[in-house]
Chains A and B, each alone.
Chain A
Amino acid sequence: MWMVIHGLIASAIGIAVGLAINWFPESASTQAGPIDRLYDILIWVSVPVFVTVTIIVLFSVQNFRMRPGEEQLDGPPIHGNTRLEVIWTAIPAIILVVLCGYAWVVLRDIEEAQAGEMRVNVVGQQFAWTFEYPQADGEPVRSKHLYLPKDQPVRFSVRAIDVIHDFWVPAFRMKIDAVPGIETGYRITPNRLGTYPVVCAELCGLGHAVMRATTRVVEPAAFERWIAQQKAPAQASEDGEVDGKALFTDGNGAATACGACHTLADAATSSATGPDLDEVLADKDAAYIEREIVDPNAEITPGFQTGIMPPNYGDTLSSDELEALVTYLGEVAGK
């Protein structure tokens, strides 16, 4: 009786605490609800299991511990009890199968295709994300940050350029690896306005911890405006006006933003994956800066490794962009 009463009390407290803890981050997708509910049910099942084991141990310690004078005593020679063994094989098995069945239902719910899905291509590359919005009229819109219209079902199609990354928005509860050579993906429907982090969850190299982006869930009208804006600057660059600073902080869709890995006071970036450009580029001429961008392994700053910086900036930047970037860095680095 002692055990049962204490067990019930402890289970009740455990479950109450388990449900009271604010486990999950904000939820911003229709997928989050069923997942969070499933987790609550796991708490309901788990706490009594742990309490049962612990209570039996504590009860045994209290009641069956060796007292003075019992040093030579043995316990009763109980070798087993078939009925008991069948029970504690069958009951956990049934509970587990039921849980799995419920999980299967949840899984089907959260992965179900929705009508009128919008497709977004997600590309992972050391150490930044690129989001592509295919457009009916021509080139897709590319962005370093994820914009999504509220209540619009989305299907992400996820790829990786170099190594495995993992596309995770904790507020949406969903993640999938970005794997070189294959296309992966998942579906969500954002249902809450706000700004949420995008996280790379799979170790992808030295800059893994800084491979972050931002998700903005906005009203559909605001999303349309944003798309239209994104199309506009593409024309501006045809006039020969490339903003070196924007290129540094945001990249161009194909080339990873320099600021993702380098510190530069003027651009307000502070990552330490690569050398601090205010130090290493101070008083350097344009030719040196250009060579460092297109052939980063030519000269390695002490304390850093070869092969970390992508060697393909010569290809991913147009000559105008490269020139703008070199000019920008020459003007501001170390100033």
Chain B
Amino acid sequence: MVAKFRGPGMYRAALGTALGTALSYAIIGIFRSWYGLDPLFKGYAVLELSLFLAPIGFLIGLGAFDYWFRWAAGRPTIPDDHSSHGAHSWRDYFKVNTDHKVIGIQYVVTSFVFFFIGGLFAMLMRAELAQPGRQFVDPSTFNGLFSVHASLLIFLFIIPVFAGMANYVLPLMIGAPDMAFPRLNALSFWMLPLAGIMMLMSFGAPGGSFASGWTAYAPLSVTAPEGQVFFTIGVQFAGASSIATALNFLVTIITMRAPGMSFFRMPLLVWANFSTSLLVVIATPFIAVSQFMVLFDRALGFNFFNPTGGGDVLMYQHIFWFYSHPAVYIMMLPGFGIISEILAVKSRKPIFGYRMMAFSLLAIVVLGFTVWAHHMFVSGMQDWIRVPMMITTAIIAVPTGIKIFSWLATLWRGVLHLDTPMLFSLGFLTMFTLGGISGVMLAIIPVTIHVSDTYFIVAHIHYVLFGGSLLTIFAGVYYWFPKMTGRMYDERLGKLHFWTTFIFFNATFAPMHVIGIQGMPRRVADYAEQWAGWNMAISIMSFFLGLSALLFAYNMIVSWRGGPRADSNPWNALTLEWLVTSPPPIFNFDAIPTVVGGPYEYGVPGAVHGVLKGAEVPQPAGATASGASHGSATKDQE
């Protein structure tokens, strides 16, 4: 029994959590007795400190720091025998594992758990909103539901699920055996569920969960009940996880590309994650700062956002949006990468304008930092900044437009394989265009003055994050499902999932544009009678949309357990991850591959992107049984 608590694992993690909490009591007790404060253990003080120390105790107990502690203490480190690489049973996913493929699956599965919880909250909100007046939940719970819904889906789903998919695929794509810092990778993952659990725990806090929206504007968040700190501190863990992963991606991409893989031979998914990681590393510290300032205002009586103490209320919004606008691109660029992969493979054509695709990503990274104040057109900030921000906001649509047009040109005269990943990609193209158009409308200041904080905004953000990001996530999960699990998913269920999602998504969110402009404000549990019909219709459609997600869950679970075996290259794709078996061997490649050409040379006779060492170059039959068989035949049009 004692041994269980000595070795890394869940037992020791529980012990660490308890010790972290106990330490918080001790520290608060000592300080408060020092200052002669009564009572000795003030509830909120202990809570706020233990929200930091208990998770850290958990991570130490789990073993995320073991190697570094031994090294720092000068003790012999335990050489990694790689016995923990790969996962042999479901239990292995609950351990600290340094294999990027295991971590990738940990990320994706964890994110989808939070996706379903966040979606469930949306269903509860729609139930309340089906009729005007108050039916199921009180205002405190309702405000908590939309706050936690947004926080979970942004910080625990979209951002990490992209990191998870890239974690699995990206090292394979660049021909690397793993990420550059595998231990940091494991630590990054394990911070994530802690952040999510913390946000959910807030519903148990006295006064209810955090209810000031995911934007947590001060001073509302400073004066809100104690549930607020579960967001304030939870975001720190999600943010730290994000930053560490981004650093890991940057170093991996820069230093671990296979021989021959120049920057302009990288698949666009790699470019997309390179750009995203730059955004994360530069921007994410800003949200950490904004939440620390709220915490200091609350816990220590600072006056950052208290005007009577010399604070500045608008400062919060500037710092917050300096992160949270780039965060929109953090939630979109990896999706652009996924779409580029799928459209090229499924159209059997090279991506149109590869270099412009890469440069437009970088342009979005730079421009993304020049538009944050468009979230503040009605905030009361200085007037003159609005017009420059309107222009940059409109101009950032140009690189995005370049991508849309290049994808369309990629389709042109291709041989389109209209299976599930492709359907989701085409759905993304049209829906994201709508989100982009309403985005340009929101750049136009006189329109924004009227529609900001209305359901028009709710419609826009869901066209971008659901019609945009989520459709790319579904596309990516279906596309790499064979590689990750070694099984094929059910194609018929996949198509059914696409069509139900596509139809009910539009039926749910398109009407929100109308009621928004008509004047229905967002973030309200109650609304005027005139919108009763629309809201009832939206709620009913949203329940169907919720049901469509269950099709996905069913397909994934059943196919993972018993789907037909996938061969190494079911899509006939060129990029390196398809050169190895599905799922890949423990160290990805038995020998590091050599890259000899671009990643999307479909239709070029005899073209090869990479070969495993030992194979002759070029060798149209390919070095493995994989998909170098295509390329000889080109569809002759007209």
Show the binding face of A for B, using Cβ within 8 Å: 21, 23-25, 34-35, 38-39, 42, 46, 49-50, 53-54, 56-57, 60-61, 64-66, 70, 72-81, 84-85, 88-89, 92-93, 96-97, 99-100, 103-104, 106-107, 110, 158, 162-164, 166, 168, 170, 173-182, 184, 197, 199-210, 272-273, 303, 305-307
CB distance from B210 to the nearest CB of A (A): 12
Asked if B27 is at the interface of the complex by the 8 Å CB criterion, the answer is: no
What is the CA–CA distance of A288 and B604 in the complex, to the nearest angstrom?
87
Scan residues 351-376 of chain B and give those whose CB is less than 8 A from a CB of chain A: 352-356
B450 lies within 8 A of A170 (CB):
yes
Asked if B440 lies at the interface with its beta carbon under 8 angstroms from chain A, I say yes
The segment out of B191-199, B273-281, B403-411 that lies at the interface is B403-411
Binds A, one of B135-143, B168-176, B244-252: B135-143
Question: Which of B14-22, B323-331, B521-529, B609-617 is the interface stretch?
Answer: B521-529
Contact of B523 among A34, A50, A107, A208 (CB under 8 A): A208
Interface residues of chain B, those whose CB is within 8 Å of chain A, are 134, 138-140, 143, 207-208, 211-213, 217, 219-220, 223-225, 307-308, 311-314, 347-350, 352-356, 378-380, 386-387, 390-391, 394-395, 397-398, 401-402, 404-406, 408-409, 411-418, 426, 429-430, 433-434, 437, 440-441, 443-447, 449-450, 452-454, 514, 517-519, 521, 523-528, 572, 601-604, 607, 629-631, 633-635, 637
Complex-state Cα separation, A49 to B432, whole angstroms: 12
CB distance from B606 to the nearest CB of A (A): 11
**A70 contacts B603, CB within 8 Å?**
no
Contact sample, A vs B, 10 pairs, CB 8 Å cutoff: A35-B450, A39-B517, A46-B441, A73-B633, A79-B354, A93-B395, A163-B217, A163-B220, A199-B519, A203-B220
Q: How distant is the Cα of A203 from the Cα of B212 in the complex, in angstroms? A: 7
B455 to chain A, nearest CB (A): 11
Given A173-B450, A201-B453, A163:B223 Cβ within 8 A: yes
Q: What is the CA–CA distance of A78 and B415 in the complex, to the nearest angstrom? A: 13
Residues of B within 8 A of A81 (CB): 352-353, 409
Question: Is there an interface contact between B311 and A93, defined as CB atoms closer than 8 Å?
Answer: no
Q: Write the chain B residue with the least CB distance to A93.
A: B398
Residues of B within 8 A of A75 (CB): 347-349, 413-415, 602-603, 634-635
Contact A78 B635 (CB under 8 A): no
Cβ B517 vs Cβ A24 within 8 A: yes
With the chains together, A285 CA to B448 CA distance in Å? 51
Taking A180-B307, A204-B220, A206-B143 as contacts, is the C-beta distance between A35 and B446 under 8 angstroms? Answer: yes
- B135 shortest CB reach to chain A, Å: 11
Contact B313 A76 (CB under 8 A): no
- Is the beta-carbon distance between B414 and A60 smaller than 8 angstroms? yes
Are B413's CB and A97's CB within 8 A?
no
CA distance A74 to B430 in the complex (A): 24
Give the distance in Å from the alpha carbon of A38 to the alpha carbon of B614 in the complex. Answer: 64
CB of A64 within 8 A of CB of B398, answer no
Instruction: Determine whether the beta carbon of B446 is less than 8 Å from that of A305.
Output: no
Q: Which residues of B contact A99 (CB under 8 A)?
A: 394, 440, 444
CA distance A184 to B430 in the complex (A): 40
Q: B406 — which chain A residues lie within 8 A by C-beta?
A: 85
Evaluate contact between B447 and A35: CB separation under 8 angstroms.
yes
A residues in contact with B211, CB < 8 Å: 206
Q: Chain B residue with minimal CB distance to A80? A: B353
Residues in A neighbouring B607, C-beta threshold 8 A:
77
Which of these, A24, A64, A176, contacts B378 with CB under 8 Å? Answer: A176
CA distance A207 to B402 in the complex (A): 45
Contacts of B134 on A, CB cut-off 8 Å? 272
A177-B380 in contact (CB<8A): yes
Chain B: minimal CB distance from A101 (Å): 9
Provide the residues of chain A in CB contact with B412, threshold 8 Å: 56, 60, 64, 78
Cα-based distance from A158 to B379 in the complex (angstroms): 12
Whether A166 and B453, one on each chain, are in contact in the complex, defined by CB atoms closer than 8 angstroms, is: yes
How far is A205 from B140 in the complex, measured between Cα atoms in Å? 8
Query: If the complex has contacts A75-B349, A162-B219, are A179 and B313 also in contact, measured as CB distance less than 8 A?
Result: yes
Instruction: Provide the residues of chain A in CB contact with B441, threshold 8 Å.
Output: 39, 42, 46
Q: Which residues from chain A contact B401 at a C-beta distance below 8 Å?
A: 88-89, 92
Judge whether B444 and A38 touch: CB under 8 Å: yes
A74 surroundings in chain B (CB, below 8 A): 348-349, 415, 602-603, 630-631, 633-635
Given contacts A53-B408, A60-B414, A175-B378, A103 and B446 within 8 Å (CB-CB)? yes
Do the beta carbons of A78 and B604 come within 8 Å of each other? no
CB contacts (< 8 Å) of A64 on chain B: these are: 347, 411-416
B447 engages A38 (CB within 8 Å) = yes
**A residues within 8 A CB of B208?**
305
With A76-B413, A77-B349, A78-B349 as given contacts, are A42 and B444 in contact (CB-CB < 8 Å)?
yes
B634 and A103: CB pair below 8 A? Answer: no
Interface residues of A: mostly helix, strand, loop or mixed? mixed
Task: Name A303's contact: one of B138, B348, B444, B525 (CB within 8 Å).
Answer: B138
A96 neighbours in B (Cβ, 8 Å): 394-395, 397-398, 440
Given contacts A49-B437, A180-B307, A207-B139, contact A79 B350 (CB under 8 A): yes
15 further interface pairs, Cβ-Cβ under 8 Å (given A99-B440, A168-B453) = A39-B517, A42-B441, A57-B426, A64-B414, A66-B417, A75-B348, A80-B355, A88-B405, A92-B398, A166-B453, A177-B378, A182-B307, A184-B380, A207-B139, A208-B523
| Minimum distance in angstroms from A21 CB to a CB of chain B | 7
The 8 closest A-B pairs by CB, nearest first: A181-B307, A184-B380, A170-B519, A209-B524, A75-B349, A75-B414, A77-B603, A74-B603
Residues of chain B contacted by A199 (CB below 8 angstroms):
519, 521
A182 touching B378 in the complex, CB below 8 Å, given contacts A57-B411, A75-B349, A89-B402: no
Quick one: which of B213, B354, B402, B635 contacts A73, CB cutoff 8 A? B635
Q: Chain B contacts of A104 at CB under 8 A? A: 387, 390
**Max count, chain B CB within 10 A of own CB: residue among A42, A64, A210:** A64
Measured between beta carbons, the chain B residues less than 8 angstroms from A35 are 446-447, 449-450
CB B267 to nearest CB in A, in angstroms, measures: 15
Asked whether, in the complex, the Cβ of A100 is within 8 Å of the Cβ of B447, the reply is: no
Distance to closest chain B CB from A236 (angstroms): 34
A57 in contact with B408 (CB, 8 Å)? yes
Cα–Cα, bound, A39→B518 (Å): 13
Most interface-central of A25, A66, A200, A272 (chain B CB within 10 A): A66
Q: Would A103 and B349 count as touching, CB distance under 8 A?
A: no
Q: How far is the CB of A67 from chain B (nearest CB, A)?
A: 9
Alpha-carbon distance A272/B429, docked complex (angstroms): 44
CB of B519 within 8 A of CB of A272, answer no
- Shortest CB-to-CB span from A107 to chain B, Å, is 5
| B140 A206 Cβ-Cβ under 8 A | yes
Which single residue of chain B is at the shortest CB-CB distance from A207? B139
Are A179 and B379 neighbours in the complex by a CB distance under 8 Å?
Answer: yes
Contact (A107, B349) CB under 8 Å given A75-B413, A92-B398, A96-B440 = no
B583 CB, min distance to chain A CBs, angstroms: 25
Closest to B523 in A: A203
> Which A residues touch B352, using CB under 8 A?
78-81
**Docked pose: A110 CA to B429 CA in angstroms:** 36
For A202, the chain B residues whose CB sits under 8 A away are: 217, 453
* Interface pair A66/B450, CB less than 8 Å apart: no
Residues of A contacting B526 with CB < 8 Å?
209-210
Nearest CB in chain B: distance from A327 CB, A: 30
Q: Known A57-B430, A203-B143, A305-B208; judge A72-B523 contact (CB<8 A).
A: no
Say yes or no: A201 contacts B454, CB within 8 Å.
Answer: yes
Contact A85 B353 (CB under 8 A): yes
A290 to B313, CA, bound (A): 34
- How far does the alpha carbon of A73 sit from the alpha carbon of B631 in the complex, in Å? 8
Q: Are A77 and B634 in contact (CB under 8 A)?
A: yes
Partner of B413, one of A34, A78, A180, A181: A78
Identify which of A170, A207, A273 gathers the most chain B CB atoms within 10 Å of its CB.
A170
**A88 close to B525 (CB less than 8 A):** no
A97 to B394, CA, bound (A): 8
Between B313, B413, B446, B450, the greatest number of chain A beta carbons within 10 A of the residue's beta carbon is seen for B446
- B521 close to A110 (CB less than 8 A): no
